[in-house]
Each structure stands twice: as structure tokens, then as C-alpha cells.
Structure 1
Amino acid sequence: MRLPDSKPPGPWYEAYQPIDDEASREFVFLALERAVAEFGEPVIAVNTIMLRRSRKTAEARS
């Protein structure tokens, strides 16, 4: 499946490499915590934050 030629079989975010390290998780947690402190709870609940690199997965590149 080559993405420029077609859509991925699943959600678009699955076509990109995940960012999954402790520093990134901590950054997102603290950023969300600061945003809530500054602006209050979001009107729409934040259930999941999925950080992705702008690099496609090997499967999406082939």
C-alpha cells in the first residue's frame, strides 16, 4: 500500500510512526495540565492523545 496512490486501510494516524517515549508523554501531560489550569476543563473531553511523527510507517511507504 503506497499512500500517495491510495488511502490506508485503517485510520490515517496508523500510517505514521508513533512517538512513544517517556519525555513525550510527560510533555503532553504537563501541557494539558497547564492548559486546564489556565483555561479550565475542555468542553470536549480529551480521551486520547496520539503523537505521531511525520514519517510514514514502513508498511505505508511500501
Structure 2
Amino acid sequence: MNIDRRVRAKEFMDLLAVGRTKFYRLLKKGHIPEPVRITEKDVFWYESVVKKEVEKFKDKPE
């Protein structure tokens, strides 16, 4: 059994190598999927989702 761990915003930003402003701009524009919300401020993404997103961003030329 493989348990998908939770990734917080800061770690997601580090993996994408983007700053806070760009990260939230990408989220607002729909380039990054919405997080799972436990409460209004307690949010996370599943590691499997983060891995897919990081791979997509690696393939994009800047």
C-alpha cells in the first residue's frame, strides 16, 4: 500500500523553483490545480499531483 503524502505550498514552490507571487498567480490562472482544503488556511496538495505538475513545468520553455 502506497500512501500519498501531503505537500504544502512552500515545498510546492521550491519544487517548481518559483517565488510566492508567481506561484499564487499560476494558481489563480488555473495553471496549478486547486489544493485540498482542510480549513480556510490549512491546505495541501497530494504528492502525486505535485509530481505531475513539476514534470509539466520542466517541459515548458520559459
Report the TM range for the smaller structure's normalisation.
Answer: under 0.3
- TM-score, with structure 1 as normaliser: 0.27
Structure ranking higher on relative contact order (CA contacts 8 Å, 6+ apart): 1
Larger gyration radius, structure 1 or structure 2 = 1
Higher helix share: 2
- TM-score, with structure 2 as normaliser: 0.27
